[in-house]
Amino acid sequence: MATNLLVILPEILLLILAGLILLLDVLYKDRSDSFFSWFTAIGLVLIGLISVFFNYPGDQRQLVWGGMLRVDTAGFVFRLLFVTGAAVTSLFAAKVKAIGNRAVFFALLVISTIGMSFMSSAADLIMLYLAIETTSIPMYILAGFSVKENNSVESGLKYLLFGAMASAVMLYGFSLLYGFSGTTQLYGIVEILQSGAVSLSLQLLILFLVIAGFGFKVSAVPFHFWAPDVYHGSPTPISGYLSTASKAAGFIVLMRFLFSAFSYQQTYWGLLIAIIATVTMFTGNLLALAQKNLKRLFAYSSIAHAGYILIGVAAGNHLGIKASMYYLIAYLFTNLAAFGVISIVERKKGSSEIEAFRGLVKSSPGLAIILLVSLLSLGGIPPFGGFISKVLVFASAAEANLIWLLLVGVLNSIIALYYYLQIIRITFEDTEEIDLIPVSKTWKFALGVCVTGIIVLGVIFTPWLNLVTTASTNLMLLH
Amino acid sequence: MIPLSWYLIFAALLFAIGLFGVITRKNSVAILMSVELMLNAVNINFLAFWHYHTQNSGLPQVNAMVFVAIVFIAAAAEAAVGLALIISVYRQRKTVVVPELDTLKG
Which residues of chain B lie closer than 8 angstroms to A154, CB-CB?
A: 89, 92-93, 101, 103-104
Q: With cut-offs at 50, 70 and 90, classify the pLDDT of residue A148.
A: confident
User: In sequence order, what are the beta bridge partners of A63?
Assistant: A70
User: In sequence order, what are the beta bridge partners of A70?
Assistant: A63
Cα-to-chain-centroid distance, residue A327: 10
Tell me which residue range forms the domain holding A210.
Answer: 2-476
| Residue A98 contacts B, CB cutoff 8 Å | no
Task: Kindly report the nearest CA distance between residue B19 and chain A, in angstroms.
Answer: 8
> In this complex, do B103 and A233 lie within 8 Å of one another by their Cβ atoms?
yes
Mutate to test the interface with B, among A119, A128, A158, A160 (most CBs of B within 10 A): A160
Q: With cut-offs at 50, 70 and 90, classify the pLDDT of residue A251.
A: very high
Report residue A431: phi and psi, to 5°.
Answer: -120, 165
Reported as a single tens digit per residue, the pLDDT across A1-13 is: 677 888 999 999 9
Sign of the alpha-carbon torsion through A333, A335, A340, A341: positive
Contacts 24+ apart (CB under 8 A), A452-455: A453/A330, A453/A332, A453/A333, A453/A385, A454/A330, A454/A333, A454/A334, A454/A337, A454/A373, A454/A374, A454/A377, A454/A384, A454/A385, A454/A386, A455/A373, A455/A383, A455/A384, A455/A385
Exposed, middle or buried: residue A38 (CB in 10 Å: 0-12, 13-18, 19+)? middle
Reported as a single tens digit per residue, the pLDDT across A103-121 is: 999 999 999 999 999 999 9
Q: What is the pLDDT of residue A347?
A: 87
> In this complex, do B78 and A130 lie within 8 Å of one another by their Cβ atoms?
no
Q: What is the pLDDT of residue A149?
A: 86
Q: Which H, E and C letters describe chain A, residue by residue?
A: CHHHHHHCHHHHHHHHHHHHHHHHHHHCCCCCCCHHHHHHHHHHHHHHHHHHHHCCCCCCCEEECCCCEEECHHHHHHHHHHHHHHHHHHHHCCCCCCCCCCHHHHHHHHHHHHHHHHHHHECEHHHHHHHHHHHHHHHHHHHCCCCCCHHHHHHHHHHHHHHHHHHHHHHHHHHHHHHHHCCCEHHHHHHHHHCCCCCHHHHHHHHHHHHHHHHHHHCCCCCCCHHHHHHHHCCHHHHHHHHHHHHHHHHHHHHHHHHHCCCCCHHHHHHHHHHHHHHHHHHHHHHHCCCCEHHHHHHHHHHHHHHHHHHHHHHCCHHHHHHHHHHHHHHHHHHHHHHHHHHHHHHHHCCCEHHHHCCHHHHCHHHHHHHHHHHHHHHCCCCCHHHHHHHHHHHHHHHCCCHHHHHHHHHHHHHHHHHHHHHHHHHCCCCCCCCCCCCCHHHHHHHHHHHHHHHHHHHCCHHHHHHHHHHHHHHHCCC
Cα-to-chain-centroid distance, residue A339: 13
Reported as a single tens digit per residue, the pLDDT across A328-354 is: 999 999 999 999 999 999 888 888 898
Mutate to test the interface with A, among B8, B63, B93, B100 (most CBs of A within 10 A): B63
pLDDT at A190 over 80: yes
Choose among B5, B1, B82, B104: nearest CA to B36.
B82
Residue A291: which of B63, B77, B106 has the nearest Cβ?
B106
Distance CA B98, CA A351 (A): 24
Q: What is the pLDDT of residue B60?
A: 79
CA dihedral B44, A134, B97, A302 (to 10 degrees): -120
A–B CB contacts, 8 A cutoff, strictly below: 135
Task: Kindly report the nearest CA distance between residue A401 and chain B, in angstroms.
Answer: 37
Task: Kindly report the nearest CA distance between residue B96 and chain A, in angstroms.
Answer: 10
Cα-to-chain-centroid distance, residue A362: 32
Distance CA A135, CA A156 (A): 14
Q: With cut-offs at 50, 70 and 90, classify the pLDDT of residue A168.
A: very high
Q: Residue length, chain A?
A: 479
Sign of the alpha-carbon torsion through A22, A23, A26, A32: negative
- Report the CATH architecture of B4-97: Orthogonal Bundle (1.10)
Q: Is B97 helix (H, G, I), strand (E, B) or coil?
A: strand
> In this complex, do B70 and A130 lie within 8 Å of one another by their Cβ atoms?
yes
The domain total for chain A is 1
User: In sequence order, what are the beta bridge partners of A353?
Assistant: A293
> In this complex, do B32 and A161 lie within 8 Å of one another by their Cβ atoms?
yes
Which residues of chain B lie closer than 8 angstroms to A291, CB-CB?
A: 106
What element of type H or E holds B36? helix B28-57
Q: With cut-offs at 50, 70 and 90, classify the pLDDT of residue A211.
A: very high
> In this complex, do B85 and A141 lie within 8 Å of one another by their Cβ atoms?
yes
Q: Is B47 helix (H, G, I), strand (E, B) or coil?
A: helix
Distance CA A21, CA A440 (A): 22
Mean pLDDT for all residues in chain A: 92
Reported as a single tens digit per residue, the pLDDT across A234-246 is: 999 999 999 999 9
Q: What is the mean pLDDT of residues A34-41?
A: 92
> In this complex, do B77 and A137 lie within 8 Å of one another by their Cβ atoms?
yes
> In this complex, do A161 and B74 lie within 8 Å of one another by their Cβ atoms?
no
| Residue A165 contacts B, CB cutoff 8 Å | yes
Q: What is the pLDDT of residue A280?
A: 96
Which residues of chain A lie closer than 8 angstroms to B39, CB-CB?
A: 168, 171
> In this complex, do A229 and B105 lie within 8 Å of one another by their Cβ atoms?
yes
Which residues of chain A lie closer than 8 angstroms to B71, CB-CB?
A: 129, 171
Q: With cut-offs at 50, 70 and 90, classify the pLDDT of residue B41.
A: very high
Reported as a single tens digit per residue, the pLDDT across A45-90 is: 999 999 999 989 888 888 998 889 999 999 999 999 999 999 999 9
Domain boundaries, chain B: 4-97
Q: With cut-offs at 50, 70 and 90, classify the pLDDT of residue B50.
A: very high
pLDDT at A99 over 80: no
Q: What is the pLDDT of residue A28?
A: 86
Contacts 24+ apart (CB under 8 A), A287-291: A287/A228, A288/A416, A288/A419, A289/A415, A289/A418, A289/A419, A290/B106, A291/A354, A291/B106
Q: Is the pTM of this model over 0.90?
A: yes
Q: What is the pLDDT of residue B106?
A: 62
> In this complex, do A175 and B63 lie within 8 Å of one another by their Cβ atoms?
no
Reported as a single tens digit per residue, the pLDDT across A415-471 is: 999 999 999 999 998 887 777 888 889 999 999 999 999 999 999 989 999 999 999
Report residue A439: phi and psi, to 5°.
Answer: -120, 115
> In this complex, do A179 and B52 lie within 8 Å of one another by their Cβ atoms?
yes
Mutate to test the interface with B, among A154, A186, A295 (most CBs of B within 10 A): A154
Sign of the alpha-carbon torsion through A269, A399, A412, A423: positive
Residue B14 near residue B37, CB atoms below 8 Å: yes
What element of type H or E holds B43? helix B28-57
Task: Kindly report the nearest CA distance between residue A213 and chain B, in angstroms.
Answer: 14
Cβ neighbors of A421 (< 8 A, separation 6 or more) are: A375, A379
Q: Which H, E and C letters describe A103-165, residue by residue?
A: HHHHHHHHHHHHHHHHHHHECEHHHHHHHHHHHHHHHHHHHCCCCCCHHHHHHHHHHHHHHHH
Q: Residue length, chain B?
A: 106
pLDDT at A31 over 90: no
Closest chain A residue by Cα to residue B22: A165
Which residues of chain A lie closer than 8 angstroms to B32, CB-CB?
A: 161, 164
Which residues of chain A lie closer than 8 angstroms to B22, CB-CB?
A: 161, 165
User: In sequence order, what are the beta bridge partners of A392?
Assistant: none
Task: Kindly report the nearest CA distance between residue B2 and chain A, in angstroms.
Answer: 17
> In this complex, do A178 and B74 lie within 8 Å of one another by their Cβ atoms?
no
> In this complex, do A140 and B85 lie within 8 Å of one another by their Cβ atoms?
yes
Ranking A133-142, A191-200, A328-337, A369-378 by mean pLDDT, the lowest is A191-200
Mutate to test the interface with A, among B40, B44, B62, B81 (most CBs of A within 10 A): B81
Q: What percent of chain A has pLDDT over 70?
A: 99
Closest chain B residue by Cα to residue A126: B67
Q: Give whole-number Cα distances, A273 to A220, A226, A382, in Å.
A: 10, 20, 28
